[in-house]
A = this chain, B = another copy of it.
């Protein structure tokens, strides 16, 4: 059984030492779905010629900031797969000895962009998803803390249902920051929705213009920024809202 509603493809052209190479990727999956059903699968192919260790390093780094930074429901499949293959066909570029080679930098950036593109397509096709949500956490004590806070916001049923209801409910965001269990300073916390600051120093910004915020929340591409006010680390994750469609798919699949 699959609940995908559209094919997920991405492609990037880049170069290694001036020689053009192509990266293609496909993915399936529309949630971190349980092992007895559809799972997330992604395949990436490039005509670049790369030692396995180099491709592996670039893939791990890229996956951390893409597929490991998305969540639909916080549930993880036991058989999620991200596979990359470098055929070496049709690309006579300078040899790449390590992932740190300067002439490998563009490829690495292109790979990360492609992985992010695919990962975001998976989220956009999340079960029942009507809105695509980007969450940026800044001012955290460490990169790990930033990601944990961002995922806590992204996985909170109350945040996700508020977004489904087009409500810029910053109280629920503060709650999700709190339950992440990482350092955050309520008195310095800053929350912006659609680029507009709505809460600062732990309270609502007085007299902010609600109209553009409401307009943003009515849209399908939501941006939430949270500065937790304790450090300089950041993380970005992507998620979707929690709607009746998710319940339809996951509770009513037998009827």
Please list the residues of chain A having a beta carbon within 8 angstroms of any beta carbon in chain B. Answer: 33-37, 73-78, 155-158, 161-162, 164-167, 169, 171-172, 174-176, 178-179, 241-244, 246-247, 250-255
Asked if residues B157 and A253 are in contact (CB atoms below 8 Å), the reply is no
How many angstroms between the C-alpha atoms of A144 and B157 in the bound complex?
Answer: 24
**Which residues of B have CB within 8 Å of A243?**
247, 251
**Which residues of B have CB within 8 Å of A34?**
158, 169, 171-172, 175
Oligomer copy total = 2
Q: Can you report 23 residue pairs joining A to B where beta carbons are below 8 Å apart?
A: A33-B158, A34-B175, A35-B174, A35-B175, A36-B172, A73-B157, A75-B158, A75-B172, A75-B175, A78-B175, A78-B178, A157-B250, A161-B247, A161-B250, A164-B247, A165-B250, A165-B254, A166-B254, A167-B254, A242-B251, A243-B247, A244-B244, A246-B247
A157-B157, A161-B246, A246-B161 known; A78-B251 Cβ under 8 A: no
9 A-B pairs with the lowest CB-CB distances in the bound complex, closest first: A161-B250, A36-B171, A165-B251, A161-B251, A164-B251, A34-B172, A73-B157, A75-B158, A76-B179
Closest to A252 in B: B165
Q: Which of B155, B161, B250, B252 contacts A158 (CB 8 A)?
A: B250
Q: How far is the CB of A156 from chain B (nearest CB, A)?
A: 5
**Which residues of B have CB within 8 Å of A156?**
74-75
